[in-house]
Amino acid sequence: MREGRLLRGVHRTHTGVHPALESVLAAILGLLVGAVIMLLWGYDPWQAYWALLKGAFGGFGYEIPTSVARGVPLILTALTFSICLRAGMFNIGAEGQMYVGAAAAVTVAYLRLPYPWHLLVGVLLAAAAGAIWSLGPALLKLTRGVSEVISTIMFNWISRFLVFYLVAYVLVDPRQAQRTVRIPFSARFPILVPGTDLSAAVYMALGFALLVYFLLWHTAVGYEVRAAGLNPTAARYGGISIRRTVLLSFALGGVAAGLAGAATTMGLPPTYAIISGLPDLMNLGFDGMAVAMVGRNHPIGILFAALFFGGLNAGGRVMQFYGENPVPLEMVRVVMGTIVLAMAIPELVRIFPALVRAGRALVRRAGPAQGEEA
Amino acid sequence: MISAGARERKRDGYFLRAEGITKVYADGTVAVRDVTLELRPGEIVGLLGENGAGKTTLTKILSGLLPPTRGRVVSPRGPVRFGSPREALDFGIGMVHQHFALVGTFTAVENVALSHERPLAPLALAATRAGLERLMAESGLKVPLDVPVEKLAVGEQQRVEILKVLSREVELLILDEPTSVLTPLEVDELFAFLRRLRGEGKSIVLITHKLREVGAITDRVVVLRKGALVGDVRTADVTKEELAQLMVGRAVGTRAARAVELSTEEIPAHAAHGAAAARGPGVLHVEGLTVPGDTKPVAVHDLSFDVYAGEIFGIAGVEGNGQSELVEALTGLRPALKGTATIHGRNILGLDPRQIYRLGVAHIPEDRWRLGLVLPFTLAENAILGVHRWPQFRGPFSVLRWGKIHAHVRSLIERFEIQATGPGAPARSLSGGNQQKLIVGRELAKDPAIVIASQPTRGLDVGAAQYIRDILVEMRDRGRAILLVSADLDEVLALSDRVAIMYEGRFMGVARPEELSRERIGMLMGGVRG
């Protein structure tokens, strides 16, 4: 049974369809619904999707590198969600942890170091900031029993306005008040394809995804995290400390989100800074949750899902300029939303037999009124 | 004020009759076998039986929660068939379950109103309150009406549950082990109230395994054993000894049903074996152990015992008498209140499960799905639960040695005859017997000094159950100490070298199985020291 090795840990769902195929079907369904909506609004879906496809994957010189670059932060924020989900928790906090990571990365501008070390220090600062920020909800959960869903959402708002403040008053560039100081050359991820946004940050994201895969499926620590996520009672019986797995998965998720912050500052030309209002960061944490779902919360699946979502983002920009009646960018978000909804269909399939049974029971109750049967 | 229905019942002499009820569950278990039973107004019937005797299944059929496989329920008005508990309630049959169906954050009034609610109708809180106040005055059952029920004592919650059912004007009230959560004083109050209900002409069924209660309150006793009705007698005409005998079974004309069980002839055989193998040094020493329960403040009271190498120490008793809490305390899953417990002289209280396993404890848990296995995990992943940090499975940097783990699992599959496609198969795909073999294999691979086995054969077919029992005996013969907790009396008696009978957190007696008659054991299990 070697073929299944790579996607080990992706569990079959109720439809009986392979989870990877299920994700593909959800994506196709999302695109179809998008097409129907475009038709209703009088756009030409063929033309729009053709533009989107060309814009996303039409060439190696610009389109594909751009799609990959768009996927890089999504890989990392998706990992944040997935690591915690594997440990049995809903961590909605990637967004805020990423903001804090980005702010921490910008602080390297005040340091003077030679090239690879300066970059490394920035990455480590961002990772540490993300991890520390994620410990808030983790500790609240462990000490006070606060639901991580609530606390991570609240921490998102705290970090959002904290970083707004930092950008406006602390890290601000005295000459360019709309953004922070720029990250110096010695702390920037090298650009891999000139003229595109694709930087060496992609290696960091890939490496971290592989590291998470190895950690979860090839170490005793990861084994404990997965056991605690699937059956906490059995995990306790197995001598596993749930406290430890909660702390560890939150911290690791925070590191991933912090790295996403590093990728979107130290690896994002041309600004290499945080712009006031955080336009380059906004929603990447939330989109990461969609990527995690489509990627079936598996590090390898996430890589493919992030490429797909990155392509949608990159291609969507092209779509809105293409032809005489271009389709607005918002349509791409409709497609993304539909895909996420379609991912919930396996659950519907499970509910469906229950509905059928309930219907039959109703008929049976009405039945004896008509006539007694043996 | 006698309703038309009541007059009708008076004339016919019964309220409800179960005729030839048989219930076969989807997995083939026969829970109830051809039971015929009549319930009359103004009578309290005790329904007596061991765990798994079919008491709850029978009452669920009577109250409309389950349809019978064969047989029918008849009232003087003709056959009745309930599609839901609500229909049964409309007919006048109410059941108070062991586990209350109350919304914890709602008050008593809200809970009762909720039970009356029809979909989409507004909650009639004011009317419900008035009704409840009248009912409390009539019945003498007092509960605080405006406190969330989760803040009430368990006895009060039960009263809310009873009021909920009474508020529907029931004629037949079924109570499932109502006293198991009550203090003695609360039991007295409950019984006084039930007598009053009887005086009003209601029919009452009391499910219990406590012989004392049967004698104290019932008019008639119905005894179930292995799903079959083995006794239906007036309480005044029967002694506790006779009831105990009926309950645990001994030549009561059900030979056929007993053919699949361990034959009683096997008991001396095993015991002789145990006597031949000299008892070794003490392994587990427990002294004054007091353990809290989930619903009761104390589930295990001041318990002291020793388990020696080369013996099986069995704990018999009806479930819910503190056995689970005792095992959990000994395996690091539940903190103890008082007392000491040592393995080879080293304290184990306060340690976490992994530290306890290190001291040579293997734990076969009572619930293999909740505790013993992570069902979506593969066999390999499940085979290292609890030992995943041992050096033979874990290399440097915490890296798991999957190669060695898989080899280990393959040897387990072979040695314990586990039917599985391989180490990579999910544990979920295995049958219950093979899942249990996997757990047993994993635990015995720890090379333990003591095996704590809780309900190790529950739910297994005869072959798998016997296989597990043979392994436990083999471990005993190889000089290991075994602590066996089982609600299956035949099993405990057949395997154990010494048996303790546990009742309400205490040992009623410890003896060699051959020193105890089954009547005596039945009495002890029912809380009668005699």
**Residue A78's closest CA among A311, A304, A313?**
A304
| Confidence check: pLDDT of B271 > 60 | no
Q: Looking at the predicted structure, is the pLDDT value of residue B376 above 80? A: yes
For position B27, what pLDDT does the model report?
Answer: 66
Question: What is the distance of C-alpha B470 from the center of its chain?
Answer: 24
**Measured between CB atoms, which of A223, A238, A241 is closest to B400?**
A223
The set of long-range contacts for A137-140, using a CB threshold of 8 Å and a minimum separation of 24, is A137/A91, A137/A93, A137/A250, A138/A246, A138/A247, A138/A250, A138/A251
Which positions in chain B have a beta carbon within 8 angstroms of at least one beta carbon in chain A? 81, 83, 331-333, 352-355, 357, 363, 365, 370-377, 381, 384-386, 388-389, 393-394, 397-400, 402, 422, 424
Which pLDDT tens digit goes with each residue over B123-141?
A: 778 888 998 998 888 777 7
C-alpha span between A141 and A137 (Å, rounded): 6
- Given this model, what pLDDT does residue A95 score? 97
Is the per-residue pLDDT at A297 higher than 70? yes
Per CATH, which fold does B266-525 belong to?
A: Rossmann fold (3.40.50)
- The three-class DSSP label of residue B450 is strand
Spatial contact of B179 and B190, defined as CB atoms under 8 Å apart: yes
The region, left, alpha or beta by phi > 0 then psi within -120 to 50, assigned to residue B448 is beta
In chain B, pLDDT over 70 holds for what percent of residues?
Answer: 89
- For residue B276, give both structure tokens: 């031949």
Nearest to B376 among A221, A230, A236 (CB): A230
How high is the pLDDT of residue A70? Answer: 95
Q: What is the DSSP letter of B411?
A: H
State the smallest CA–CA distance between residue B374 and chain A in angstroms: 6
Every domain of chain A and the residues it spans: 73-296
Residues 6+ apart with CB under 8 A from A36: A45
Q: What confidence category does residue B442 fall into, taking pLDDT thresholds of 50, 70 and 90?
A: very high
Q: Tell me the pLDDT of chain B averaged across its residues.
A: 84
- Whether the pLDDT of residue B88 is over 90: the answer is no
Which residues in chain A have their CB less than 8 angstroms from residue B381's CB?
223, 227
pLDDT surpassing 90 at residue B157: no
Q: Each residue of B126-149: b (16+ CB within 10 Å) or e?
A: eebbebbeebbeebebebebeebb
Q: Distance, in angstroms, between A358 CA and closest chain B CA?
A: 12
What pLDDT digit, counting tens, does each position of B52-61 carry?
788 888 988 8
- CB A285, CB A80: distance < 8 Å: yes
Q: Tell me the pLDDT tens digit for each residue of B228-270.
A: 999 899 999 988 888 888 887 653 333 333 333 333 333 333 4
pLDDT band at B295 (very low <50, low <70, confident <90, very high): confident
- Determine the pLDDT at residue B118: 66
Give me the pLDDT at residue B234, please.
Answer: 92
Q: pLDDT tens digit string along A76-98?
A: 999 999 999 999 999 999 999 99
Residue B383 has pLDDT above 80, yes or no: yes
Q: Which residues of A touch B67 (CB under 8 A)?
A: none
- Partner-chain residue, chosen from A220, A361, A368, that has the shortest CB–CB distance to B398: A220
Average pLDDT over residues B145-159: 84
pLDDT digits (tens, 9 = 90+) for A262-272: 999 999 988 89
Q: β-strand A172-173 against A176-180: which pairing, if any? A: antiparallel
Cβ of A218 and B399 within 8 Å?
yes
Give me the interface pTM, i.e. the ipTM.
Answer: 0.83
Q: What mean pLDDT comes out for the span B80-104?
A: 83
Number of C-beta neighbours around residue B392 at 10 A = 12
Contacts of A241 in chain B (CB under 8 A): 352
Domains B4-92+169-258 and B266-525 share a fold: yes
d(Cα B446, Cα B393) in Å, to the nearest integer?
12
- Mark B288-306 as b/e (b = at least 16 C-beta within 10 Å): ebbbbbeebebbbbebebb
Overall average pLDDT of the B440-457 stretch: 93
Residue B165 pLDDT = 87
What distance in Å separates the CA atoms of residue B45 and residue B203, rounded to the nearest whole number? 8
Class at the top of the CATH hierarchy for domain B4-92+169-258: alpha beta
B393, B398, B454: best to mutate for the A interface, most A CBs within 10 A: B398
Chain A residues with CB under 8 Å of a chain B CB are: 1, 11, 218-221, 223-224, 226-227, 230-231, 233-241, 361, 364-365, 368
Q: What is the least distance, in Å, from the CA of A1 to any CA of chain B?
A: 8
End-to-end Cα separation, chain B, in angstroms: 45
pLDDT at residue A149 above 90?
A: yes
Residues of chain A contacting B397 with CB distance shorter than 8 Å: 219
* Least confident stretch, A285-299, B31-45, B75-89, B294-308: B75-89
Alpha-carbon distance B490 to nearest alpha carbon in chain A (angstroms): 28
Q: Cα–Cα distance between A304 and A7 in angstroms, integer?
A: 12
Question: What is the average per-residue pLDDT within B272-285?
Answer: 68
What's the mean per-residue pLDDT of chain A? 88
CA distance B490 to B485: 12
For an interface test with B, give the residue of A13, A237, A296 to mutate (most B CBs within 10 A). Answer: A237
Contacts of B400 in chain A (CB under 8 A): 218-220, 223
Q: CA-CA distances (angstroms) from residue A323 to A37, A43, A44, A51, B224?
A: 18, 10, 10, 9, 81
Q: Which residues of A touch B388 (CB under 8 A)?
A: 220, 223-224, 238
Instruction: Using pLDDT thresholds of 50, 70 and 90, give the confidence band for residue B119.
Output: low
Per-residue pLDDT reduced to its tens digit, A216-229: 999 999 999 999 99
Residues of A in contact with B394 (CB under 8 A): 220
Asked whether the beta carbons of residue B363 and residue A227 sit closer than 8 angstroms, the reply is no
Cβ distance B422 to A1 less than 8 Å, yes or no, reads yes
Distances (CA, A) of A241 to A228, A245, A283, B5, B489: 8, 7, 34, 60, 36
Question: Per residue in B167-199, pLDDT tens?
Answer: 888 899 999 888 776 767 778 888 988 999 899
Which residues, at least 6 apart from B312, have a Cβ–Cβ distance to it below 8 Å? Answer: B274, B472, B473, B476, B482, B484, B495, B496, B497, B498
Q: What is the DSSP letter of A186?
A: G
Residue B342 belongs to what H/E stretch?
Answer: strand B338-343
Cβ contacts below 8 Å, chain A against chain B, sum to 75
> Which one, of B459, B411, B402, lies nearest residue B435 by Cα?
B459
Q: How many residues are present in chain A? A: 374
pLDDT score for A13: 47
On the question of pLDDT at B459 being above 80, the answer is no
Question: What residues of B are in contact with residue A237 (Cβ under 8 Å)?
Answer: 331, 333, 353, 363, 365, 371-372, 385-386
| Residue spans per domain, chain B | 4-92+169-258, 97-168, 266-525
Q: Which residues contact A368 (CB under 8 A, 6 or more apart)?
A: B81
Nearest CA in chain A to B365: A237
pLDDT by residue (tens digit) across A193-205? 999 999 999 999 9
> Given this model, what pLDDT does residue B120 score?
61
Q: Is the pLDDT of residue B294 over 50?
A: yes
How many Å lie between the alpha carbon of A335 and the closest alpha carbon of chain B?
32
Structure tokens at A12: 């079959």
Give A10-28 pLDDT, tens digit per residue. Answer: 554 444 567 788 788 888 8
Question: Do residues A98 and A155 lie in contact, with contact meaning Cβ atoms separated by under 8 Å?
Answer: no
Taking CB atoms and an 8 Å limit, are B376 and A368 in contact across chains?
no
Distance CA A171, CA B416 (A): 66
Amino acid, res. A37: I
Report the range of poorest mean pLDDT among A330-334, A353-357, B248-252, B518-522. Answer: B248-252
pLDDT of B207 over the 80 cut: yes
pLDDT of residue B452 exceeding 80, the answer is yes
Averaged pLDDT for residues B431-455: 92
pLDDT digits (tens, 9 = 90+) for A355-371: 666 677 667 666 544 44
Q: First and final CA of chain A: distance in angstroms?
A: 52
Q: What is the CA radius of gyration of chain A?
A: 23
Under the banding of pLDDT at 50, 70 and 90, the label for residue A323 is confident
